[in-house]
Amino acid sequence: MIKVLIVDDHEMVRLGLATYIGVQPDLEVVDQAENGQEGVDMALKDRPDIILMDLVMPVKDGITATKEILKAWP
């Protein structure tokens, strides 16, 4: 099973992606975050195989969040 983390500040986008991923037999949404900081925290906790990260979000943008995740978990 491939674990997926969804990070987006728009709830409808998160729900749409989670619904689509949920019907795929080899994919599982392990968590959803609404900003970059939550995304970093959840990525380090859940260790997903794939992170779907929005770029423009409040608190911390997706580029900064991705850099932090890669620094902590290369």
Whole-number pLDDT of residue 35: 98
Distances (CA, A) of 41 to 9, 48, 52: 15, 12, 14
Question: Would you state the structure tokens that stand for residue 10, as one six-digit string?
Answer: 């728009």
Is residue 18 within 8 Å of residue 42, measured between CB atoms?
A: no
- pLDDT band at residue 21 under the 50/70/90 scheme: very high
State the virtual CA torsion across 52, 56, 57, 61 in degrees, nearest 10.
Answer: 80
Is 30 domain-assigned? no
pLDDT surpasses 90 at 74: no
How far apart are the C-alpha atoms of 61 and 21, rounded to whole Å?
23
Is 69 domain-assigned? no
User: What is the domain extent for residue 16?
Assistant: 1-25
% of the chain surpassing 90 pLDDT: 97
Single pTM value for the model: 0.94
Is 8 domain-assigned? yes
Distances (CA, A) of 7 to 44, 59: 13, 12
Number of domain units in the chain: 1
